[in-house]
Structure 1
Amino acid sequence: MTSLHPFHRPLGSTGLMVSPLGLGTVKLGRDQGVKYPNGFTIPDDTEARQLLAMARDLGINLIDTAPAYGRSEERLGPLLRGQREDWVIVSKVGEEFEAGQSRFDFSPEHTRFSVERSLKRLETDFIDLMLIHSDGNDVAILQESGVLETLAELKQAGKIRAFGLSGKTVEGGLLALQQGDCAMVTYNLAEQGEKPVLDYAAQHGKGILIKKALASGHACLGAGVDPVRASFELIFGHPGVTSAIIGTINPLHLSHNVATAAAVISSLS
Protein backbone atom coordinates (compact mmCIF):
# COMPACT_ATOMS: atom_id res chain seq x y z
CA MET A 1 0.00 0.00 0.00
CA THR A 2 1.34 3.41 -0.95
CA SER A 3 1.92 5.66 2.05
CA LEU A 4 2.60 9.36 2.45
CA HIS A 5 4.79 8.76 5.53
CA PRO A 6 8.07 9.36 3.62
CA PHE A 7 6.76 12.69 2.34
CA HIS A 8 5.85 14.44 5.59
CA ARG A 9 7.20 17.99 5.58
CA PRO A 10 7.44 21.05 7.86
CA LEU A 11 4.49 23.45 7.86
CA GLY A 12 6.52 26.63 7.41
CA SER A 13 8.34 27.52 10.63
CA THR A 14 5.61 26.24 12.99
CA GLY A 15 7.53 23.12 14.04
CA LEU A 16 4.61 20.99 12.84
CA MET A 17 5.32 18.10 10.46
CA VAL A 18 2.42 17.33 8.14
CA SER A 19 1.49 14.95 5.35
CA PRO A 20 1.24 16.47 1.85
CA LEU A 21 -2.46 15.58 1.80
CA GLY A 22 -4.83 16.47 4.61
CA LEU A 23 -8.33 15.14 5.19
CA GLY A 24 -11.07 17.76 5.04
CA THR A 25 -14.09 16.88 7.18
CA VAL A 26 -16.96 19.14 6.08
CA LYS A 27 -18.77 15.99 4.87
CA LEU A 28 -18.61 14.45 8.36
CA GLY A 29 -20.74 17.26 9.74
CA ARG A 30 -22.80 19.05 7.17
CA ASP A 31 -24.74 18.31 3.98
CA GLN A 32 -26.56 21.64 3.53
CA GLY A 33 -25.19 24.57 1.58
CA VAL A 34 -22.14 22.68 0.31
CA LYS A 35 -20.92 23.14 -3.27
CA TYR A 36 -20.30 19.64 -4.58
CA PRO A 37 -21.38 18.27 -7.95
CA ASN A 38 -23.20 15.29 -6.37
CA GLY A 39 -25.26 14.84 -3.24
CA PHE A 40 -23.87 12.65 -0.47
CA THR A 41 -24.90 11.06 2.80
CA ILE A 42 -23.04 12.03 5.96
CA PRO A 43 -21.12 8.90 7.06
CA ASP A 44 -22.20 7.24 10.29
CA ASP A 45 -19.68 6.73 13.12
CA THR A 46 -18.53 3.32 11.87
CA GLU A 47 -17.89 4.62 8.36
CA ALA A 48 -16.22 7.76 9.70
CA ARG A 49 -13.98 5.71 12.00
CA GLN A 50 -12.97 3.45 9.11
CA LEU A 51 -12.20 6.46 6.91
CA LEU A 52 -10.01 8.05 9.60
CA ALA A 53 -8.19 4.75 10.25
CA MET A 54 -7.58 4.35 6.53
CA ALA A 55 -6.28 7.92 6.22
CA ARG A 56 -3.90 7.29 9.11
CA ASP A 57 -2.68 4.01 7.56
CA LEU A 58 -2.09 5.87 4.29
CA GLY A 59 0.23 8.28 6.11
CA ILE A 60 -2.17 11.21 6.45
CA ASN A 61 -1.72 13.04 9.76
CA LEU A 62 -3.40 16.35 8.91
CA ILE A 63 -7.10 16.81 9.59
CA ASP A 64 -9.10 19.93 8.75
CA THR A 65 -12.32 20.92 10.50
CA ALA A 66 -14.26 24.05 11.46
CA PRO A 67 -17.26 25.18 13.52
CA ALA A 68 -18.92 26.01 10.19
CA TYR A 69 -18.76 22.31 9.22
CA GLY A 70 -21.89 21.48 11.19
CA ARG A 71 -21.22 18.63 13.63
CA SER A 72 -17.72 17.87 12.32
CA GLU A 73 -15.76 19.01 15.42
CA GLU A 74 -18.05 17.38 17.95
CA ARG A 75 -17.93 14.10 16.03
CA LEU A 76 -14.14 14.17 15.64
CA GLY A 77 -13.60 14.50 19.41
CA PRO A 78 -14.89 11.00 20.23
CA LEU A 79 -13.74 9.51 16.90
CA LEU A 80 -10.11 10.53 17.54
CA ARG A 81 -10.01 9.56 21.23
CA GLY A 82 -6.65 8.08 22.16
CA GLN A 83 -5.06 9.22 18.88
CA ARG A 84 -4.21 12.85 19.66
CA GLU A 85 -0.48 12.40 19.03
CA ASP A 86 -1.23 10.91 15.58
CA TRP A 87 -2.94 14.01 14.20
CA VAL A 88 -2.20 17.61 13.37
CA ILE A 89 -5.59 19.28 13.85
CA VAL A 90 -6.60 22.40 11.91
CA SER A 91 -9.75 24.25 12.91
CA LYS A 92 -11.13 27.74 12.30
CA VAL A 93 -12.71 30.80 13.87
CA GLY A 94 -15.07 33.44 12.52
CA GLU A 95 -17.74 31.51 10.64
CA GLU A 96 -20.77 29.90 12.27
CA PHE A 97 -23.26 27.76 10.38
CA GLU A 98 -26.76 27.68 11.87
CA ALA A 99 -30.13 26.72 10.39
CA GLY A 100 -28.62 26.42 6.91
CA GLN A 101 -27.02 29.88 7.03
CA SER A 102 -23.50 31.16 7.61
CA ARG A 103 -22.87 34.12 9.87
CA PHE A 104 -19.54 35.71 10.68
CA ASP A 105 -18.06 37.14 13.88
CA PHE A 106 -14.35 38.00 14.08
CA SER A 107 -14.47 39.86 17.41
CA PRO A 108 -11.92 39.02 20.14
CA GLU A 109 -14.74 37.79 22.42
CA HIS A 110 -16.18 35.44 19.85
CA THR A 111 -12.70 34.26 18.82
CA ARG A 112 -11.90 33.25 22.42
CA PHE A 113 -15.31 31.60 22.84
CA SER A 114 -14.90 29.71 19.56
CA VAL A 115 -11.42 28.42 20.40
CA GLU A 116 -12.52 27.20 23.86
CA ARG A 117 -15.54 25.49 22.29
CA SER A 118 -13.34 23.80 19.67
CA LEU A 119 -10.98 22.55 22.40
CA LYS A 120 -13.94 21.05 24.26
CA ARG A 121 -15.55 19.50 21.18
CA LEU A 122 -12.27 18.06 19.93
CA GLU A 123 -11.40 16.83 23.44
CA THR A 124 -7.92 18.34 23.36
CA ASP A 125 -5.80 20.85 25.31
CA PHE A 126 -4.48 22.58 22.20
CA ILE A 127 -5.24 22.94 18.50
CA ASP A 128 -2.26 22.75 16.16
CA LEU A 129 -3.39 25.37 13.65
CA MET A 130 -6.26 27.84 13.94
CA LEU A 131 -7.30 29.63 10.77
CA ILE A 132 -9.55 32.65 10.37
CA HIS A 133 -12.51 31.51 8.25
CA SER A 134 -12.85 34.60 6.05
CA ASP A 135 -16.08 35.87 4.47
CA GLY A 136 -13.98 37.42 1.70
CA ASN A 137 -13.20 40.77 3.35
CA ASP A 138 -9.74 39.48 4.24
CA VAL A 139 -7.85 42.74 4.75
CA ALA A 140 -10.59 44.43 6.80
CA ILE A 141 -10.89 41.33 9.03
CA LEU A 142 -7.14 41.17 9.62
CA GLN A 143 -6.68 44.89 10.25
CA GLU A 144 -9.86 45.91 12.06
CA SER A 145 -11.50 43.04 13.98
CA GLY A 146 -8.81 42.20 16.54
CA VAL A 147 -8.89 38.52 15.55
CA LEU A 148 -5.17 38.33 14.67
CA GLU A 149 -4.07 39.83 17.97
CA THR A 150 -6.42 37.49 19.84
CA LEU A 151 -5.02 34.42 18.08
CA ALA A 152 -1.47 35.60 18.84
CA GLU A 153 -2.43 35.79 22.55
CA LEU A 154 -4.00 32.32 22.43
CA LYS A 155 -0.79 31.01 20.86
CA GLN A 156 1.22 32.59 23.69
CA ALA A 157 -1.14 30.89 26.15
CA GLY A 158 -0.54 27.48 24.50
CA LYS A 159 -4.15 26.99 23.39
CA ILE A 160 -3.06 26.94 19.75
CA ARG A 161 0.32 26.12 18.19
CA ALA A 162 0.00 28.30 15.09
CA PHE A 163 -2.50 30.56 13.32
CA GLY A 164 -3.30 32.02 9.95
CA LEU A 165 -6.03 32.75 7.42
CA SER A 166 -8.27 30.73 5.15
CA GLY A 167 -8.87 33.65 2.82
CA LYS A 168 -10.05 34.64 -0.62
CA THR A 169 -7.67 37.39 -1.74
CA VAL A 170 -3.99 37.83 -2.53
CA GLU A 171 -3.77 40.87 -0.23
CA GLY A 172 -5.30 38.92 2.65
CA GLY A 173 -3.02 35.93 2.12
CA LEU A 174 0.11 38.11 2.06
CA LEU A 175 -0.96 40.02 5.18
CA ALA A 176 -1.72 36.76 7.01
CA LEU A 177 1.74 35.37 6.16
CA GLN A 178 3.42 38.58 7.31
CA GLN A 179 1.65 38.46 10.69
CA GLY A 180 0.88 34.77 11.14
CA ASP A 181 2.18 31.30 10.34
CA CYS A 182 0.09 29.93 7.50
CA ALA A 183 -2.42 30.71 4.76
CA MET A 184 -5.01 28.42 3.24
CA VAL A 185 -5.35 29.31 -0.41
CA THR A 186 -7.46 28.25 -3.38
CA TYR A 187 -5.16 26.92 -6.11
CA ASN A 188 -6.23 24.45 -8.78
CA LEU A 189 -6.37 23.88 -12.53
CA ALA A 190 -9.20 26.40 -12.87
CA GLU A 191 -8.13 29.05 -10.33
CA GLN A 192 -4.57 30.29 -9.88
CA GLY A 193 -5.17 33.93 -8.96
CA GLU A 194 -3.73 33.51 -5.45
CA LYS A 195 -0.36 32.23 -6.72
CA PRO A 196 1.51 35.33 -5.37
CA VAL A 197 0.67 34.09 -1.85
CA LEU A 198 2.40 30.78 -2.64
CA ASP A 199 5.40 32.67 -4.05
CA TYR A 200 5.68 34.75 -0.85
CA ALA A 201 5.42 31.65 1.34
CA ALA A 202 8.21 29.92 -0.61
CA GLN A 203 10.48 32.96 -0.16
CA HIS A 204 9.73 33.46 3.54
CA GLY A 205 9.40 29.89 4.85
CA LYS A 206 5.69 30.10 5.71
CA GLY A 207 3.10 27.32 5.60
CA ILE A 208 0.58 26.94 2.79
CA LEU A 209 -2.45 24.67 2.77
CA ILE A 210 -4.38 24.35 -0.49
CA LYS A 211 -8.18 24.27 -0.46
CA LYS A 212 -10.33 23.28 -3.45
CA ALA A 213 -7.27 21.41 -4.78
CA LEU A 214 -9.49 19.32 -7.05
CA ALA A 215 -11.90 22.25 -7.62
CA SER A 216 -14.41 20.73 -5.13
CA GLY A 217 -14.67 17.60 -7.28
CA HIS A 218 -15.32 19.58 -10.46
CA ALA A 219 -11.87 18.91 -11.96
CA CYS A 220 -12.46 17.79 -15.56
CA LEU A 221 -9.94 17.66 -18.38
CA GLY A 222 -9.53 16.20 -21.85
CA ALA A 223 -9.85 12.50 -22.55
CA GLY A 224 -6.98 10.37 -21.27
CA VAL A 225 -5.83 12.94 -18.70
CA ASP A 226 -6.19 12.02 -15.03
CA PRO A 227 -7.56 15.23 -13.45
CA VAL A 228 -6.26 14.29 -10.00
CA ARG A 229 -2.73 13.75 -11.31
CA ALA A 230 -2.79 16.98 -13.34
CA SER A 231 -4.08 18.87 -10.27
CA PHE A 232 -1.35 17.47 -8.02
CA GLU A 233 1.36 18.18 -10.62
CA LEU A 234 0.31 21.82 -10.59
CA ILE A 235 0.01 22.06 -6.80
CA PHE A 236 3.09 20.15 -5.69
CA GLY A 237 5.10 21.65 -8.53
CA HIS A 238 5.02 24.91 -6.57
CA PRO A 239 7.72 25.09 -3.85
CA GLY A 240 5.50 27.18 -1.57
CA VAL A 241 2.87 24.45 -1.10
CA THR A 242 2.99 22.37 2.08
CA SER A 243 -0.20 20.33 1.85
CA ALA A 244 -3.49 20.02 -0.02
CA ILE A 245 -6.74 19.40 1.86
CA ILE A 246 -8.92 16.74 0.21
CA GLY A 247 -12.53 16.52 1.43
CA THR A 248 -13.47 13.01 0.38
CA ILE A 249 -15.51 10.44 2.29
CA ASN A 250 -14.99 7.82 -0.43
CA PRO A 251 -12.27 5.29 0.56
CA LEU A 252 -11.46 4.52 -3.10
CA HIS A 253 -11.00 8.20 -3.91
CA LEU A 254 -8.85 8.61 -0.82
CA SER A 255 -6.48 5.75 -1.69
CA HIS A 256 -6.30 6.91 -5.33
CA ASN A 257 -5.50 10.47 -4.20
CA VAL A 258 -2.74 9.21 -1.90
CA ALA A 259 -1.19 6.95 -4.56
CA THR A 260 -1.30 9.79 -7.11
CA ALA A 261 0.15 12.39 -4.72
CA ALA A 262 2.98 10.00 -3.75
CA ALA A 263 3.78 9.32 -7.42
CA VAL A 264 3.75 13.03 -8.31
CA ILE A 265 5.89 14.11 -5.34
CA SER A 266 8.38 11.29 -6.05
CA SER A 267 8.68 12.37 -9.67
CA LEU A 268 9.30 16.00 -8.64
CA SER A 269 12.01 15.26 -6.08
Structure 2
Amino acid sequence: MPEITLSPLPLNPLGDTGMQVSALGLGTVKLGRDKGVKYPGSFTIPDDRQAADLIARARAWGINLIDTAPAYGNSEERLGKLLRGQRDQWLICSKVGEEFAGGQSSFDFSAHHTRMSVERSLRRLHTEVLDMVLVHSNGDDERIVREEEVLDTLRKLKREGLIRAIGMSGKTVAGGLLAAQYSDVVMVTYNLRERGEEAVLDYCCKNNKGVLVKKALASGHIAGEEGGDPVQASMDFVFAHPAVTSAIVGTINPVHLDHNCSCVLRALSRSNPTRT
Protein backbone atom coordinates (compact mmCIF):
# COMPACT_ATOMS: atom_id res chain seq x y z
CA MET A 1 0.00 0.00 0.00
CA PRO A 2 1.48 3.40 -0.92
CA GLU A 3 2.73 5.67 1.83
CA ILE A 4 0.31 8.42 2.79
CA THR A 5 1.62 11.88 2.00
CA LEU A 6 -1.48 14.05 2.36
CA SER A 7 -2.01 16.30 5.36
CA PRO A 8 -3.82 14.67 8.27
CA LEU A 9 -7.46 15.41 8.88
CA PRO A 10 -8.15 18.38 11.16
CA LEU A 11 -9.47 18.04 14.69
CA ASN A 12 -12.72 19.78 15.59
CA PRO A 13 -14.02 20.66 19.08
CA LEU A 14 -16.78 18.30 20.21
CA GLY A 15 -19.17 20.93 21.49
CA ASP A 16 -18.14 22.06 24.97
CA THR A 17 -16.74 18.67 26.06
CA GLY A 18 -13.11 19.72 25.70
CA MET A 19 -12.44 16.82 23.32
CA GLN A 20 -10.97 17.35 19.87
CA VAL A 21 -12.34 14.92 17.28
CA SER A 22 -11.07 14.14 13.79
CA ALA A 23 -13.34 15.27 10.96
CA LEU A 24 -13.78 11.64 9.92
CA GLY A 25 -14.45 8.79 12.33
CA LEU A 26 -14.05 5.08 11.69
CA GLY A 27 -17.25 3.07 12.09
CA THR A 28 -16.68 -0.57 13.03
CA VAL A 29 -19.89 -2.50 12.50
CA LYS A 30 -18.14 -4.37 9.67
CA LEU A 31 -15.44 -5.55 12.06
CA GLY A 32 -17.95 -7.55 14.04
CA ARG A 33 -21.21 -8.16 12.21
CA ASP A 34 -22.28 -9.14 8.70
CA LYS A 35 -25.92 -10.07 9.40
CA GLY A 36 -28.90 -7.73 9.46
CA VAL A 37 -26.99 -4.84 7.87
CA LYS A 38 -28.28 -2.52 5.16
CA TYR A 39 -25.31 -2.14 2.85
CA PRO A 40 -25.85 -2.57 -0.91
CA GLY A 41 -23.44 -5.50 -1.21
CA SER A 42 -22.16 -8.38 0.88
CA PHE A 43 -18.75 -8.24 2.54
CA THR A 44 -16.33 -10.43 4.44
CA ILE A 45 -15.43 -9.46 8.00
CA PRO A 46 -11.69 -8.69 7.98
CA ASP A 47 -9.30 -10.86 9.95
CA ASP A 48 -7.16 -9.40 12.73
CA ARG A 49 -4.25 -8.51 10.44
CA GLN A 50 -6.51 -6.74 7.97
CA ALA A 51 -8.35 -4.95 10.78
CA ALA A 52 -5.08 -3.84 12.39
CA ASP A 53 -3.80 -2.52 9.06
CA LEU A 54 -7.05 -0.60 8.53
CA ILE A 55 -6.84 0.97 11.98
CA ALA A 56 -3.20 1.93 11.39
CA ARG A 57 -4.16 3.44 8.03
CA ALA A 58 -6.91 5.47 9.69
CA ARG A 59 -4.54 6.69 12.37
CA ALA A 60 -2.01 7.73 9.72
CA TRP A 61 -4.71 9.97 8.27
CA GLY A 62 -5.13 11.62 11.66
CA ILE A 63 -8.39 9.82 12.50
CA ASN A 64 -8.74 9.59 16.28
CA LEU A 65 -12.40 8.55 16.64
CA ILE A 66 -13.64 4.97 16.57
CA ASP A 67 -17.36 4.24 16.72
CA THR A 68 -18.64 0.90 17.99
CA ALA A 69 -21.61 -0.60 19.85
CA PRO A 70 -22.71 -3.76 21.66
CA ALA A 71 -25.06 -4.36 18.73
CA TYR A 72 -22.10 -4.57 16.31
CA GLY A 73 -21.44 -8.25 16.91
CA ASN A 74 -18.00 -8.75 18.47
CA SER A 75 -16.69 -5.33 17.38
CA GLU A 76 -16.02 -4.16 20.94
CA GLU A 77 -14.11 -7.31 21.89
CA ARG A 78 -11.97 -7.09 18.76
CA LEU A 79 -11.21 -3.42 19.30
CA GLY A 80 -10.16 -4.14 22.87
CA LYS A 81 -7.39 -6.33 21.49
CA LEU A 82 -6.60 -4.30 18.38
CA LEU A 83 -6.18 -1.02 20.31
CA ARG A 84 -4.02 -2.51 23.05
CA GLY A 85 -1.03 -0.25 23.62
CA GLN A 86 -2.57 2.66 21.70
CA ARG A 87 -5.64 3.53 23.76
CA ASP A 88 -4.35 7.06 24.39
CA GLN A 89 -4.39 7.72 20.63
CA TRP A 90 -8.12 7.13 20.25
CA LEU A 91 -11.48 8.49 21.30
CA ILE A 92 -13.94 5.62 21.61
CA CYS A 93 -17.66 6.09 21.10
CA SER A 94 -19.90 3.19 22.09
CA LYS A 95 -23.62 2.86 22.72
CA VAL A 96 -26.30 1.43 24.99
CA GLY A 97 -29.86 0.23 24.52
CA GLU A 98 -29.63 -2.13 21.55
CA GLU A 99 -28.58 -5.77 21.61
CA PHE A 100 -28.22 -7.97 18.54
CA ALA A 101 -28.48 -11.74 18.83
CA GLY A 102 -29.82 -14.50 16.62
CA GLY A 103 -30.14 -12.09 13.71
CA GLN A 104 -32.53 -9.81 15.62
CA SER A 105 -32.25 -6.55 17.53
CA SER A 106 -33.81 -6.02 20.94
CA PHE A 107 -33.89 -2.87 23.03
CA ASP A 108 -33.65 -2.17 26.76
CA PHE A 109 -33.35 1.38 28.10
CA SER A 110 -33.66 0.57 31.81
CA ALA A 111 -31.19 1.81 34.40
CA HIS A 112 -30.04 -1.74 35.16
CA HIS A 113 -29.34 -2.61 31.54
CA THR A 114 -27.66 0.73 30.87
CA ARG A 115 -25.19 0.32 33.71
CA MET A 116 -24.56 -3.32 32.82
CA SER A 117 -23.96 -2.40 29.18
CA VAL A 118 -21.48 0.37 29.98
CA GLU A 119 -19.55 -1.82 32.43
CA ARG A 120 -19.48 -4.62 29.86
CA SER A 121 -18.18 -2.24 27.16
CA LEU A 122 -15.43 -1.08 29.50
CA ARG A 123 -14.34 -4.69 30.02
CA ARG A 124 -14.54 -5.60 26.35
CA LEU A 125 -12.58 -2.53 25.28
CA HIS A 126 -10.02 -2.90 28.08
CA THR A 127 -10.41 0.70 29.16
CA GLU A 128 -11.29 2.58 32.32
CA VAL A 129 -13.35 5.25 30.59
CA LEU A 130 -15.48 5.55 27.46
CA ASP A 131 -15.06 8.88 25.72
CA MET A 132 -18.64 8.90 24.40
CA VAL A 133 -21.69 6.73 25.04
CA LEU A 134 -24.80 7.26 22.94
CA VAL A 135 -28.28 5.84 23.31
CA HIS A 136 -28.87 3.47 20.41
CA SER A 137 -32.46 4.47 19.67
CA ASN A 138 -35.16 2.17 18.31
CA GLY A 139 -36.83 5.18 16.69
CA ASP A 140 -39.05 6.13 19.63
CA ASP A 141 -36.70 8.96 20.48
CA GLU A 142 -38.98 11.32 22.39
CA ARG A 143 -40.39 8.62 24.66
CA ILE A 144 -36.89 7.36 25.40
CA VAL A 145 -35.72 10.82 26.46
CA ARG A 146 -38.85 11.66 28.45
CA GLU A 147 -39.76 8.34 30.04
CA GLU A 148 -36.85 5.90 30.05
CA GLU A 149 -34.04 5.79 32.62
CA VAL A 150 -31.19 5.57 30.14
CA LEU A 151 -30.07 9.21 29.92
CA ASP A 152 -30.31 9.77 33.68
CA THR A 153 -28.22 6.65 34.19
CA LEU A 154 -25.63 7.79 31.67
CA ARG A 155 -25.40 11.12 33.50
CA LYS A 156 -24.72 9.22 36.75
CA LEU A 157 -22.04 7.14 35.06
CA LYS A 158 -20.50 10.32 33.72
CA ARG A 159 -20.38 11.77 37.24
CA GLU A 160 -18.72 8.54 38.38
CA GLY A 161 -15.99 9.09 35.79
CA LEU A 162 -16.81 6.12 33.57
CA ILE A 163 -17.94 8.28 30.61
CA ARG A 164 -16.69 11.62 29.34
CA ALA A 165 -19.67 12.62 27.14
CA ILE A 166 -23.19 11.29 26.60
CA GLY A 167 -25.81 11.60 23.89
CA MET A 168 -28.15 9.83 21.52
CA SER A 169 -27.99 8.25 18.10
CA GLY A 170 -31.54 9.12 17.13
CA LYS A 171 -33.87 8.72 14.20
CA THR A 172 -36.27 11.67 14.39
CA VAL A 173 -36.05 15.45 14.31
CA ALA A 174 -38.13 15.97 17.45
CA GLY A 175 -36.16 13.33 19.31
CA GLY A 176 -32.84 14.74 18.20
CA LEU A 177 -33.80 18.25 19.30
CA LEU A 178 -34.95 16.95 22.68
CA ALA A 179 -31.90 14.76 23.20
CA ALA A 180 -29.58 17.64 22.35
CA GLN A 181 -31.02 19.65 25.23
CA TYR A 182 -29.96 16.99 27.74
CA SER A 183 -26.78 15.68 26.10
CA ASP A 184 -23.26 16.63 25.08
CA VAL A 185 -23.43 15.15 21.57
CA VAL A 186 -25.96 13.74 19.11
CA MET A 187 -25.56 11.42 16.16
CA VAL A 188 -27.80 12.25 13.21
CA THR A 189 -28.48 10.94 9.73
CA TYR A 190 -27.49 13.60 7.21
CA ASN A 191 -26.65 13.07 3.56
CA LEU A 192 -27.62 14.15 0.06
CA ARG A 193 -30.78 12.07 0.18
CA GLU A 194 -31.77 12.45 3.83
CA ARG A 195 -31.79 16.04 5.00
CA GLY A 196 -34.70 15.96 7.44
CA GLU A 197 -32.57 16.23 10.58
CA GLU A 198 -30.94 19.49 9.52
CA ALA A 199 -32.93 21.28 12.21
CA VAL A 200 -31.03 19.26 14.82
CA LEU A 201 -27.73 20.42 13.32
CA ASP A 202 -28.95 24.03 13.40
CA TYR A 203 -29.85 23.72 17.09
CA CYS A 204 -26.51 22.14 17.95
CA CYS A 205 -24.64 24.86 16.09
CA LYS A 206 -26.37 27.55 18.13
CA ASN A 207 -25.97 25.71 21.44
CA ASN A 208 -22.41 24.34 21.11
CA LYS A 209 -23.33 20.67 21.00
CA GLY A 210 -21.23 18.03 19.29
CA VAL A 211 -22.60 16.50 16.10
CA LEU A 212 -21.58 13.13 14.69
CA VAL A 213 -23.04 12.36 11.27
CA LYS A 214 -24.01 8.79 10.46
CA LYS A 215 -24.85 7.48 6.99
CA ALA A 216 -23.01 10.34 5.30
CA LEU A 217 -22.80 8.08 2.24
CA ALA A 218 -26.31 6.64 2.80
CA SER A 219 -24.78 3.31 3.88
CA GLY A 220 -23.10 3.05 0.49
CA HIS A 221 -26.26 3.73 -1.52
CA ILE A 222 -25.27 7.18 -2.82
CA ALA A 223 -25.19 6.77 -6.60
CA GLY A 224 -23.41 8.54 -9.45
CA GLU A 225 -26.29 10.85 -10.18
CA GLU A 226 -25.19 12.99 -7.24
CA GLY A 227 -22.19 14.14 -9.26
CA GLY A 228 -19.08 12.90 -11.00
CA ASP A 229 -17.68 11.67 -7.68
CA PRO A 230 -20.53 10.78 -5.31
CA VAL A 231 -18.23 10.58 -2.29
CA GLN A 232 -16.89 14.08 -2.93
CA ALA A 233 -20.40 15.43 -3.50
CA SER A 234 -21.50 13.81 -0.24
CA MET A 235 -18.64 15.19 1.83
CA ASP A 236 -19.05 18.63 0.28
CA PHE A 237 -22.67 18.58 1.37
CA VAL A 238 -22.09 17.23 4.89
CA PHE A 239 -19.24 19.56 5.80
CA ALA A 240 -20.94 22.63 4.37
CA HIS A 241 -22.92 22.68 7.63
CA PRO A 242 -20.83 24.30 10.38
CA ALA A 243 -22.34 22.11 13.13
CA VAL A 244 -20.75 18.90 11.85
CA THR A 245 -17.96 17.74 14.13
CA SER A 246 -17.23 14.42 12.46
CA ALA A 247 -18.70 12.06 9.88
CA ILE A 248 -18.62 8.37 10.82
CA VAL A 249 -17.86 6.13 7.84
CA GLY A 250 -17.66 2.37 8.25
CA THR A 251 -15.45 1.26 5.40
CA ILE A 252 -13.17 -1.79 5.68
CA ASN A 253 -11.53 -1.10 2.33
CA PRO A 254 -8.25 0.87 2.72
CA VAL A 255 -8.57 2.30 -0.80
CA HIS A 256 -12.03 3.61 0.06
CA LEU A 257 -10.67 4.96 3.34
CA ASP A 258 -7.99 6.91 1.48
CA HIS A 259 -10.56 8.31 -0.93
CA ASN A 260 -12.95 9.25 1.88
CA CYS A 261 -10.20 11.13 3.71
CA SER A 262 -9.07 12.95 0.59
CA CYS A 263 -12.66 13.99 -0.13
CA VAL A 264 -13.12 15.29 3.42
CA LEU A 265 -9.98 17.39 3.14
CA ARG A 266 -11.19 18.91 -0.13
CA ALA A 267 -14.67 19.50 1.30
CA LEU A 268 -13.27 21.31 4.31
CA SER A 269 -10.98 23.48 2.20
CA ARG A 270 -14.01 24.56 0.18
CA SER A 271 -16.43 25.15 3.05
CA ASN A 272 -14.04 26.77 5.49
CA PRO A 273 -10.32 26.96 4.75
CA THR A 274 -9.52 27.58 8.44
CA ARG A 275 -10.70 24.04 9.30
CA THR A 276 -7.99 22.34 7.21
Aligned pair partner of 2:173 in 154, 170, 185:
170
**2:24 maps to 1:21:** yes
User: What is the count of residue pairs matched by the alignment?
Assistant: 268
Counterpart in the other structure of 1:138: 141
Q: Distance in 2 between matches of 1:268 and 1:180?
A: 27
- Contact between 1:4 and 1:19, CA under 8 Å: does it hold in 2? no
Q: Distance in 2 between matches of 1:94 and 1:224?
A: 37
Counterpart in the other structure of 2:86: 83
Following TM superposition, by how much is the alpha carbon of 1:224 offset from its aligned partner in structure 2, in angstroms? 5.6
Following TM superposition, by how much is the alpha carbon of 1:264 offset from its aligned partner in structure 2, in angstroms? 1.2
Q: Distance in 2 between matches of 1:224 and 1:200?
A: 29
Aligned pair partner of 2:113 in 110, 114, 129:
110
- Unaligned runs of 5+ residues in structure 2 are none
Secondary structure, aligned partner of 1:222: helix
Counterpart in the other structure of 1:186: 189
Following TM superposition, by how much is the alpha carbon of 1:221 offset from its aligned partner in structure 2, in angstroms? 3.0
**2:83 maps to 1:74:** no
Counterpart in the other structure of 2:230: 227
Aligned pair partner of 1:63 in 34, 58, 66:
66
Q: Distance in 2 between matches of 1:16 and 1:97?
A: 30
The percentage of counterpart residues that share the same residue type is 62
Which letter does structure 2 place at the counterpart of 1:150?
T
- Unaligned runs of 5+ residues in structure 1 are none
**2:269 maps to 1:266:** yes
Aligned pair partner of 1:161 in 164, 171, 185:
164
Following TM superposition, by how much is the alpha carbon of 1:266 offset from its aligned partner in structure 2, in angstroms? 1.4
- Contact between 1:2 and 1:262, CA under 8 Å: does it hold in 2? no
Q: How high is the TM-score relative to the length of structure 1? A: 0.98
Deviating more after overlay: 223-232 vs 233-242: 223-232
**2:46 maps to 1:37:** no
Counterpart in the other structure of 1:4: 8
Which letter does structure 2 place at the counterpart of 1:51?
L
Which letter does structure 1 place at the counterpart of 2:204?
A
- Contact between 2:8 and 2:60, CA under 8 Å: does it hold in 1? no
- Contact between 2:227 and 2:233, CA under 8 Å: does it hold in 1? no
Which letter does structure 2 place at the counterpart of 1:104?
F
Matches within 5 A, 1:233-244: 233-244=236-247
Following TM superposition, by how much is the alpha carbon of 1:3 offset from its aligned partner in structure 2, in angstroms? 3.5
Name segments (4+ residues, structure 1) moved above 3 Å: none
- Contact between 1:111 and 1:147, CA under 8 Å: does it hold in 2? yes
Secondary structure, aligned partner of 2:106: strand
Which letter does structure 2 place at the counterpart of 1:117?
R
